[in-house]
Structure 1
Amino acid sequence: MVEPHVTLDPNTLSPVEQKLRGPLEDQLTSAMKAATDKVSHEYSGEPVDQVATEILDETRAGLHHDIAEGFVPDQRELRRVAEAVVREA
Structure 2
Amino acid sequence: MQELHVSLDPAELDPATQKLREPLEAQLSSALQRAAETIERDYHGESVAEVSRRLLDVARSSLHPDIATGFQPDERELRQAAQAVVNAARS
TM class, shorter-chain normalised?
Answer: over 0.9
Deviation at 1:85, TM superposition (A): 1.1
TM superposition score normalised by structure 2 = 0.95
- The total of aligned residue pairs comes to 89
Q: Is the 8 A contact 1:2 1:36 kept in 2?
A: no
Tell me the equivalent position of 2:39: 39
Tell me the equivalent position of 2:2: 2
Tell me the equivalent position of 1:24: 24
Question: How large is the Cα RMSD of the aligned pairs?
Answer: 0.6
Tell me the equivalent position of 2:86: 86
Runs (5+) with no aligned partner, structure 1: none
Would you say 1:14 and 2:52 are equivalent positions?
A: no
Identity of aligned residues (%): 53
Residue identity opposite 2:18 in structure 1: Q
Runs (5+) with no aligned partner, structure 2: none
Q: Give 4+ residue runs of structure 1 displaced > 6 Å after superposition.
A: none
Residue identity opposite 2:43 in structure 1: Y
Q: Deviation string for 1:41-76 (max 9, x for gaps)?
A: 100100000000000000000100000000000111
